[in-house]
Amino acid sequence: MSGPEARAAVAARAVPVSNLDDVRAAEDHHVATDAGPLRVRVYHPHGTGEDRPAVLFLHGGGFVFCSVESHDGFCRSLSRALEAVVVSVDYRLAPEHPAPAAADDAVAALSWTQDNAAALGVDPARVVVAGDSAGGNLAAVTALRARDRRPALAGQVLLYPVVEPDFESESYQRYATGHFNTRAAMEWYWTQYLGGQPATTPLPEPPEHVVPSRAPSLSGLAPAVVVTAGRDPLASEGRRYAGLLRDAGVPVRHRHYPDLFHGFATIGPFPAAAAARELLWHDVRRLLGPAHAEVGGPTKENHDQLIR
């Protein structure tokens, strides 16, 4: 199956968004970049106020499919839960646009968000970058590329991120098939992202703009929240990256859910996922500042979720 065919198949399975009223408004903007206009969708929470926190969100989809539409419901929930402006990025997809096109778009969207903070009602010093799966890769790469940017990022939120094409890891060996993600699928995604080349070939330079774990140094990066799922081929690389960040002196909160699977955070009517999202909201509020951390903390029932 080609990239466009896979994209069409995924889009055909989309379900209507049921939480339109979670936000006051959602509007599309087009960011001028060297590669042409880049669409972003901006979600404004209910209420009034300036200097709100913001989340730059990068959707998953193996670098090949999904869009601002596929993650529209999740971004609305995110905006409502955090009382934050969410900027969702419709970055260029592989294989038509191989690495590092998507990461370049993510960095351009971050610059646009902070440069237009006043018009968006955003505090430019309270911006976190977040993403799920392949979007977690792009969020990690954006945090790397924005390391010296001022104002600095307030945090990076990596949901079961794709950070290292190590197909021999423990979790790849244990969960090569089933559970909504497979080794074969991940090998195909990486090949698409790398312009038709397998992940075993030399990476584009610099390699950390594609594989963030290959960075010469991770010191000085924004504080991180890393979420991993036990029944996911990506679990080992997510755990390893959290450890690398911590070893580099980066504040890290790592939540590991042993019995959950890849993609669980964006599944709406699923009790275990809902409980995990409540913890996620709490962790992101902590990144955004004390005033937000006090709102909606974890409940007695879920506070014992494993934190490493």
How high is the pLDDT of residue 290?
A: 58
How high is the pLDDT of residue 224?
A: 99
How high is the pLDDT of residue 230?
A: 95
Q: Average pLDDT, whole number, for the chain?
A: 91
The model carries a pTM of 0.92
**Whole-angstrom distance, CA of residue 226 vs CA of residue 110:** 20
Please give the C-alpha separations between residue 52 and each of 70, 115, 122, 185, 285, in angstroms, as whole numbers.
Answer: 25, 15, 5, 38, 12
How high is the pLDDT of residue 297?
A: 39
The token pair that represents 152 in the structure block? 């600095």
| CA angle in degrees (0–180, nearest 5) for 58-78-43 | 75
Instruction: Confirm if 132 and 160 have CB atoms less than 8 A apart.
Output: yes
Span of 2-6, 144-148, 159-163, 205-209 with lowest mean pLDDT = 2-6
pLDDT digits (tens, 9 = 90+) for 2-52: 777 778 777 777 777 888 899 999 999 999 999 999 999 999 999 977 899
Q: Which of 71, 209, 254, 262 is catalytic?
A: 262
Using pLDDT thresholds of 50, 70 and 90, give the confidence band for residue 146. very high
**Contacts by 298-303, CB closer than 8 A, 24 or more apart:** 301/275, 302/275, 302/276, 302/278
Q: Which of 72, 232, 282, 283 is catalytic?
A: 232
Span of 67-71, 119-123, 246-250, 299-303 with lowest mean pLDDT = 299-303
Express as a percent the part of the chain with pLDDT over 70: 93
Q: Which of 77, 133, 171, 236 is catalytic?
A: 133
**Whole-angstrom distance, CA of residue 57 vs CA of residue 63:** 14
In our burial notation (b when 16+ CB lie closer than 10 A, e otherwise), range 30-45 reads ebebeeeebbbbbbbb
pLDDT digits (tens, 9 = 90+) for 169-190: 999 999 999 778 999 999 999 9
Beta-carbon neighbour count of residue 292 at 10 Å? 20
pLDDT digits (tens, 9 = 90+) for 110-144: 999 999 999 999 999 999 999 999 999 999 999 99
Task: Show the domains of the chain with their CATH numbers.
Answer: 3-293 (3.40.50.1820)
67 is catalytic: no
Express as a percent the part of the chain with pLDDT over 90: 80
133 is catalytic: yes
C-alpha torsion sign, points 241, 263, 285, 105: positive
How high is the pLDDT of residue 194?
A: 97
